[in-house]
Structure 1
């Protein structure tokens, strides 16, 4: 079976199965969401870690800014490839990488801006005996997880390098998943998101990457040949 056909088969099965699992096991505000967020909410419905420095500043601000700098470096490499001959073989990979990062995070941002799901910290209603969850709020602009998307977007590197550099491809895949999940979990601890928000974010970003990779599959093959030729020329 051709690599593209095998890739389409595996990814199609994965996307369908993971979609069904998320739909059944992780509906927004479902039992698993409530159980996993329970340790971070007080008996009166307050999220005591909402303003915690490590979560509000280190995780939500500094880590995000650091990752954005990484993405900015991809843009710099792409721009530099038009001026420096040594960077020319990298033009397609890093240009595509940066484009997919911007595209996937923008799609998450667009969906989030039109979402009817509110953030957990906005839907806890105190009562005399504790609190209850009010899921009647509309236009809450809190689904999917925008912050987690910054980390998950790094997974685009898996598709960029899967045919030319397996180790680098899996580095970006694992790093993107760990960063996205950790950043999303920090937001969950603050009460900004349910875990489902972040898992659906990862699924959407993966879908975007699979779709665009298949559309550009031949181009990646040409890029690999170009890079190999360039490396051979430099060695000679």
Structure 2
């Protein structure tokens, strides 16, 4: 049992921390971020798609509907989950028959049965959003186009140079990638699927990581983020979702069965 628990935390917590250290060393301690943005910026002294309204709508505004609708559906599911348990046979028979005839009863029973999962998604999204906003305000990093490197007026700094634990560090709000985190938040669905050992759990994990990566990369193309901001967003979101899942379910419900092997953050690194 102890080895199983150690393996779970090694894959799901240890590996993301190791990836964070790798990001820190490869990007934050080098000029790789600037090299990537320079390669995009210098041909015409502007970032591609930086002022393209259609690209902005396709990659930034409209894609928000995916995490937004997921969060709204989870809130509605959480609210509905309280209704069916309040109905009592004998006292509410007429109402229950009406709900059955309207085919609403199956939905209410489903939400009641999965109330913890709906609430987990709501809380997970809230925790992740709170973490992202905390790091944004307590590091005060400016986006590439806002820095003197690319026509702006603000100095480029690394997040660790400006980090303040107890108060806001300034007006910058670019680290980590907020739009990327919106895609990565869908990883909360992976933990629900992991709880039930659903065979498509790993597909949900891959889709969440790819969605966040696409969200983040498109902002790099517009000059609104450095590449490392996307990677940092992925690590922070994963840790936030994992800690919330552990609080709701415990590690035993999230650990895969021995026959299936570990399906975790490690799957992305393979």
Shorter chain as denominator, the TM-score bin is: 0.7 to 0.9
Q: Which runs of 5 or more structure 2 residues have no equivalent in the other structure?
A: 84-107, 163-169, 254-270
SS in 1 for 2:199: helix
Distance in 2, Cα, partners of 1:79 & 1:168: 27
1:135 to 145, 156, 161: 156
- Aligned partner of 1:88 in structure 2 is 112
Q: Deviations over 1:170-195 (max 9, x none)?
A: 23211111111001001000000001
Q: Does the 8 A contact of 2:193 with 2:200 survive in 1?
A: yes
Counterpart residue number, 2:178: 146
5+ long unaligned stretches in structure 1: 222-236
RMSD of aligned alpha carbons:
2.9
Shift of 1:56: 1.3
**In structure 2, do the counterparts of structure 1 residues 159 and 198 end up closer, same or farther at CA, with 3 Å as the change threshold?**
same
Structure 1: 4+ residue segments shifted above 6 A: none
Q: Residues 37 and 50 from structure 1, CA distance in 2 versus in 1: closer, same or farther, beyond 3 angstroms?
A: same
1:109-166: CA deviation from partner (whole Å, max 9, x where unpaired):
2221332311001114479xxx9x9426964221111111110001112222213133
State the shift of 1:76 in Å: 1.5
Alpha-carbon distance in structure 2 between the residues aligned to 1:140 and 1:42: 24
- After superposition, residues 2-81 of structure 1 pair within 5 angstroms as 3-27=4-28, 30-43=30-43, 45-81=45-81
SS of residue in 2 equivalent to 1:114? helix
Aligned residues: 218
Structure-1 residue corresponding to 2:139: 115
> What's the secondary structure of 1:166's corresponding residue?
coil
Alignment partner of 1:105 out of 129, 138, 141 = 129
TM-score normalised over the length of structure 1: 0.80
SS at match of 2:126: helix
- 1:102 and 1:220, CA in 2 relative to 1: closer, same or farther beyond 3 A? farther
Deviations 1:17-58 (A, max 9, x none): 112101101218x42212222332135742242121343111
Query: Which of 201, 209, 212 is the matching residue for 1:169?
Result: 201
* Structure 1 residues 210 and 218: alpha-carbon distance in aligned structure 2, compared to 1, 3 A threshold: closer
CA distance in 1, matches of 2:73, 2:120: 13
Q: Which moved more, 1:62-71 or 1:179-188?
A: 62-71
Residues 77 and 94, structure 1, Cα contact 8 Å, conserved in 2: yes
Q: Give the equivalent residue in structure 2 for 1:228.
A: none
Q: Is the 8 A contact 2:180 2:233 kept in 1?
A: yes
Report SS of the residue matched to 2:185.
Answer: helix
Tell me if structure 2 keeps the 8 A contact 1:48–1:190: yes
Deviation of the 1:199 alpha carbon: 0.5
Please show how residues 163-202 of structure 1 align to structure 2 within 5 Å. Answer: 163-202=195-234
SS at match of 2:82: coil
